[in-house]
């Protein structure tokens, strides 16, 4: 008797910058916390309104540039918070040593 394999559901999310739909685990989640600040949600389960970015440096830069992330998270990101997210993105993507890992 042949059995059909049951495919497991993989949650899909859309990158705020490039608008590509990818598996949730391939994206980085940013979450708006109670005080209006933005944090990187490494667990993917933190409470708050979330937005996703690809692990591409271009998507990370595009997402943090302009008001795209502000609009998605329905908040105004402070300059300090934005700078902290840019630094985190560079460290995460391996660009912290002046772009030598490209």
Residue 79 lies in a domain: yes
Residue 62 CB partners (closer than 8 Å, separation 6+)? 17, 18, 68
User: With bands split at pLDDT 50, 70 and 90, how would you rate the model's confidence at 98?
Assistant: very low
pLDDT confidence of residue 30: 95
| Long-range CB contacts for residues 70-78, cutoff 8 Å, separation at least 24 | 72/16, 73/30, 73/31, 73/32, 73/38, 73/49, 74/32, 74/49, 75/32, 75/36, 75/38, 76/36, 77/38, 78/37
pLDDT at 96 over 50: no
pTM above 0.85, yes or no: no
Whether the CB-CB separation of 30 and 81 falls below 8 Å is answered with no
Residue 84 lies in a domain: yes
Residue 19 lies in a domain: yes
Residue 100 lies in a domain: no
Please give the residue range of the domain that contains residue 75.
Answer: 12-92
Residue 53 lies in a domain: yes
Q: What's the token pair of residue 44?
A: 């993917």
Query: What is the average pLDDT value for the chain, to the nearest integer?
Result: 85
Residue 1 lies in a domain: no
Q: Looking at per-residue confidence, does 96 or 72 come out higher?
A: 72
pLDDT at 95 over 60: no
Whether the CB-CB separation of 28 and 16 falls below 8 Å is answered with no
Q: 25-35, pLDDT tens digit by residue? A: 999 999 999 88
Domain count, the chain: 1
Q: For residue 48, what is the domain's CATH number?
A: 3.30.1230.10
Residue 28 lies in a domain: yes
Compute the distance between CA of residue 56 and CA of residue 48 in angstroms, rounded to an integer. 24
Q: 40-66, pLDDT tens digit by residue? A: 998 888 999 999 999 988 898 888 888
Residue 37 lies in a domain: yes
């Amino acid at each position: 008797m042949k059995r059909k394999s049951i495919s497991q559901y993989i949650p899909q999310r859309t990158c705020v910058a490039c608008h590509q739909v990818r598996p949730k685990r391939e994206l980085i989640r940013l979450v708006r916390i109670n005080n209006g600040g933005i944090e990187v949600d490494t667990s993917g389960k933190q409470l708050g309104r979330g937005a996703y970015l690809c692990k591409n440096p271009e998507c990370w830069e595009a997402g943090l540039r302009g008001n795209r992330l502000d609009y998605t998270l329905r908040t105004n990101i402070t300059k300090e918070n934005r700078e902290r997210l840019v630094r985190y993105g560079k460290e995460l993507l391996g660009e912290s040593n002046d772009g030598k890992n490209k």
